[in-house]
Amino acid sequence: MIRTADLTVRLRVEPVPSTDSAAADRDANAAARSAAVAQAAGTVRGIATAAGGFQATADGGGSQLTVSLRVPTDQYDAVMAKLTALGDLTARSESSQDVTAQVADVNSRVESMTASVARVRALLAQATTIADVISIESELSVREANLESLQQQQAALAGQVAMSTISLGITAITNDPQSTEPVNQDNGFITGLNAGWAALVGFAGWVGGAFGVLLPFLPLIAGAVLLGWWLLRRTRRRRAAAAATPPASAPATASSAPEAAPAAERVAEPTGAGGS
């Protein structure tokens, strides 16, 4: 198992006493940060050495430094705990890689190539002609080179498995003497205003979430609304057309004519009598 880690730690350095010169104050604070980083670097080397490891590389200067450590795999967790306690942990990433199959494959190839080199060397010892010696030596050189390459891969894998790699970034900053916790002086009105604003923001977030949920359904809703509007308009047009058409006149019945004639006769009869 190959284990690697990347850490970033921030050191907080107290500011130096202020003077009348701002430039001198800046230089003094920079020197204090550099001293803090140097002290932390020494502590890191001590941690790695005590765990049976060593510091592989160191890059940077002043208030920033990056250190690469190689520590035994069985001491990895203990070293990580000590490094994270140096200051404020701002970033951390770890990874593990299982190389069991790869190690077994390389070991098998090394054994096979070792046996092959031994066979070629035996043939070289039995060669009787110069041509055979030259040919066998050429083949032996190729196989020995392949064996050496496999052995290097084997050693590299063994080192990666036995020793974990930890990259540590150290940064120092100067504490701001004026960066104190603000005193809460809000009165009832300000507190209520803040609460109302928080409620408004929450409601706006809820409305936005609801709109996001309904957004995929808007085409279906719009289609349904248009269809309903078209059907309603069509119904209204039919009703308007039916209301505008006059009703058909009822035909006169045959029984009404005979009733009118006697009435006319009854009116005419008194006139005739007066004339006589």
> Please, what is the average pLDDT of the chain?
80
CA 105 → CA 59, 100, 111, distances in Å? 36, 9, 10
Burial of 79 (0-12, 13-18, 19+ CB in 10 A): buried
pLDDT band at 257 (very low <50, low <70, confident <90, very high): very low
Question: Using alpha carbons only, how large is the chain's radius of gyration in Å?
Answer: 51
Give CA–CA dist 83/44, Å, rounded.
7
The arithmetic mean of pLDDT across residues 105-118, rounded, is 88
Residue 142 has pLDDT above 80, yes or no: yes
User: Side chain identity at 2, as an amino acid letter?
Assistant: I
Which residues share a beta bridge with 182?
Answer: none
Give CA–CA dist 252/111, Å, rounded.
125
Give CA–CA dist 44/252, Å, rounded.
122
Supply the pLDDT for residue 81: 93
Name the DSSP class of 179: -
Report the greatest alpha carbon distance in the chain. Answer: 183
Give CA–CA dist 129/133, Å, rounded.
6
Domain residue spans in the chain?
A: 2-95+162-174, 101-153
Q: What whole-number percentage of the chain has pLDDT above 70? A: 82
Residue 150's CB: how many other CB atoms inside 10 A? 19
pLDDT band at 92 (very low <50, low <70, confident <90, very high): very high
Identify the residue whose tokens are 């306690």.
85
Give CA–CA dist 128/162, Å, rounded.
47
Residue 88 has pLDDT above 90, yes or no: yes
Helix (H, G, I), strand (E, B) or coil at 24: helix
Supply the pLDDT for residue 125: 87
Supply the pLDDT for residue 265: 45
- The more confidently predicted of residues 10 and 205 is 10
Give CA–CA dist 18/26, Å, rounded.
10
The bridge status of strand 2-13 relative to strand 54-61 is: unpaired
